Structure 1
Amino acid sequence: MKVSWLPPSLRGGLRCACSGRPIASLSPLRQPFLSTSAKQFSITSRIRAGIAAPEIDFDELEDKNFVPDLQVAEKKEDTNGSKGKDRDDEVFYARVVPESRSYFGAQPIFIDTLITLRRLVRKYAALPTVKAGEAPRVAFRTLADYRNTSGETVGASKYSQIVEALRRLNHIHPSLRPKEVVDVLNSHKRDINPFDNKTKPIQIDRFGRALGVGKRKSSTARAFLVEGTGEVLVNGKTLVDAFARVHDRESAIWALKATDRLDKYNVWALCSGGGTTGQAEALTLAVGKALIAHEPMLKPALRRAGCVTRDPRRVERKKAGHVKARKMPTWVKR
């Protein structure tokens, strides 16, 4: 297609497209746009001064022996009255660098603590350790205490990583522990060791009664055990009137039945809260504790019968969208 066949308004544009040389537009309106020169592509790494601040040549600054200062250096005058060198006037403005690399994280104190503990674990991994049962019993700080000290909302799973590293350091043989390991363990210990607090044994009063307390779910039972003929009163009622189910009656006096002491002790109990099953099983624990006060040698037998250990299970709560605690609604396709 020849350019001469087109109207004059389109000839200039086609000449620019067909020619390899830049051709000035015939229209005076297009001249300002075509007069601008194209930007040259540059591969240099140095930033131009018109765009950003110039790069800092640290080698040159070291040669000049500049001292970092945030205030403008005053000009020094010589003894002859002349001003000091230009080097004294130049000031190097240093950037404020955070003390820790974790400063910009969400939990810098936790990250620094975990990194320090893991570094110690790797550093002293070759030291001999003791068995799990022979390691010193140490109570480390709780999660709530650590949150108050650090001021960070650390999750339970994250704090367990710190406790795991501390336990690994605690398994190092006490006679071979380095000083920094001892200092780290002492900084994470509680002020009071809960393992030193032992449960006081149940005392028998001047009437020959031993008081035992037991709990099960939301029920609580207090049982007074005294030597007698085997009578049982629960809230002022006999065992048959207090518990309608035979299984609950057996649970209430299971500690005496398992040790063949049904006809040697009288039980006077007070139960509250929960239902009959919870009260009966709470009474099992209460009678078992009171029986240990009278005959401490029966503790292994009562433990095997399940009359010493408290059952921590509770009713699981109902969830939203579920029929019960775990039951889901029946799925219908249509």
Structure 2
Amino acid sequence: METRAMRSGFRQAIAAFRSQTKRYPSYQSRRFLATPTQPPTDEIRAAPPFRFNDKQSQGEEDMEEGNSGFAKLLPKLRIVPASPSYFTGKPGFTDDILELQTLLRKYITLPVLPPGEAPRIAWKTHAQYKVQSGEPVKAARYTKILQVLARLNYIHPSVMPEEVKKALEKYKRDVQPFLNKPKPGYVDEYGRARGVGRRKACHAVAYLVEGEGEVMINGKSLSQAFGRVHDRESCIWALKATDRIDKYNVWAVAQGGGTTGQAEAITLAVSKALMVHEPALKPALRRAGCVTRDPRRVERKKPGKLKARKMPAWVKR
């Protein structure tokens, strides 16, 4: 029994060996072996250096020596951008902020002006900067540029470098509203001072002359021109706030709008005319609210709404 078992075991082993030799022939293993095709040599040669030649003759010589030449390398060359942030999402903004920050680090030790004494400059708005850079820059990012510009603007003008001045000029508006100066008022040969005021859709011109406190509006007395007491007080509020009611005569012309708008327009016109006579009264007039221009207007009713903003009841449902 033992001899039979041994014989069957030998037979199974021989059959398994024969099946393996059929599936994996002997020459299959040699396919994955690397065999040298040339005899080994001790000399090691490096590739010839690339030479970028403009002339065709030199390129042909290089090609003969083994180089590809400028003509073949030209399609493979990559142009290096001048801006280091070219591959960012907003290269223009990044270059601008890096340039300003570099100037700030370079001239951080220069003397600066006292707080609040820097020259007032109207910088470009967010919309104007987006048009200039051609990129969709967010308002928060542009605020960072404005902060650096404000710090550079505090450098003392006597020691401000030229490159800082050029950088600031890039972000200034074409028209500076802070440089606009109002026309100086004057008193004519008849002792009259002229003032102009506006409110809503109304326009008023007032002439102020020393007198006994008489007021004429559009050729009418104050009580005839305005029926409401509030409008009458508004016309002469500048004189009442400075205790000058019985020292000046007022002659005014008002056009457009309603009675309230005309009365408040006359208030501003009388205030400007009064400051021509007595410039020292400007702080008192400003505290009384007579000098400030009020541009507010009544919001008009819109189609489909009950009032300016009120929606109908069926829409709310």
Same fold (TM over 0.5): yes
Match in the other structure for 2:66: 86
Counterpart of 1:298 (choices 281, 288, 294) is: 281
Which range moved further: 92-101 or 299-308?
92-101
- 8 A contact 2:50–2:69 mirrored in 1: no
- 8 A contact 2:52–2:69 mirrored in 1: no
Which range moved further: 199-208 or 103-112?
103-112
State the secondary structure of the residue aligned to 2:189: coil
Q: Which amino acid aligns with 1:309?
A: T
State the secondary structure of the residue aligned to 2:118: coil
State the secondary structure of the residue aligned to 2:146: helix
Match in the other structure for 1:254: 237
Match in the other structure for 1:67: 52
Answer 1 or 2: which has greater helix percent.
2
Q: Deviations over 1:6-55 (max 9, x none)?
A: xxxxxxxxxxxxxxx9xxxxxxxxxxxxxxxxxxxxxxxxxxxxxxxxxx
Distance 2:175 2:269 in 1: 29
Aligned sequence identity (%):
58
Residue 237 (1) aligns with residue 217 (2): no
1:199 Cα deviation from its structure 2 partner: 2.0
- 8 A contact 1:68–1:94 mirrored in 2: no
Distance 2:149 2:105 in 1: 12
Match in the other structure for 1:205: 188
Distance 1:110 1:319 in 2: 41
Which range moved further: 115-124 or 258-267?
115-124
Q: Deviations over 1:181-209 (max 9, x none)?
A: 34312443457755444323211122221
- 8 A contact 1:121–1:165 mirrored in 2: yes
Change (3 A) 1:279 1:136: same
Change (3 A) 1:127 1:294: closer
Q: Which amino acid aligns with 2:232?
A: R
Change (3 A) 1:106 1:251: farther
Change (3 A) 1:109 1:250: same
Match in the other structure for 1:131: 114
Match in the other structure for 2:205: 222
Q: Which has the higher Rg, Structure 1 or Structure 2? A: 2
State the secondary structure of the residue aligned to 1:309: coil
Change (3 A) 1:307 1:188: same
Change (3 A) 1:275 1:191: closer
- 8 A contact 2:199–2:293 mirrored in 1: yes
Match in the other structure for 1:184: 167
CA RMSD of aligned residues (A): 3.9
Which range moved further: 204-213 or 117-126?
117-126
Distance 2:305 2:106 in 1: 51
Structure 1, gaps ≥5 residues long: 1-20, 22-59, 78-82
Distance 1:286 1:95 in 2: 69
User: How many residues matched?
Assistant: 270
Structure 2 length normalisation: TM-score? 0.68
Match in the other structure for 2:32: none
Change (3 A) 1:315 1:115: farther
Change (3 A) 1:329 1:68: farther
Q: Which amino acid aligns with 1:76?
A: E
Change (3 A) 1:290 1:104: same
- In the TM superposition, what are the counterparts of 1:1-334 in structure 2 within 5 Å? 64-67=49-52, 74-76=59-61, 84-87=64-67, 89=69, 91-92=72-73, 93-100=76-83, 103=86, 108-121=91-104, 129-141=112-124, 146=129, 150=133, 159-174=142-157, 177=160, 180-189=163-172, 194-316=177-299, 323-327=306-310
Structure 1 length normalisation: TM-score? 0.65
1:251 Cα deviation from its structure 2 partner: 0.4
1:84 Cα deviation from its structure 2 partner: 3.2
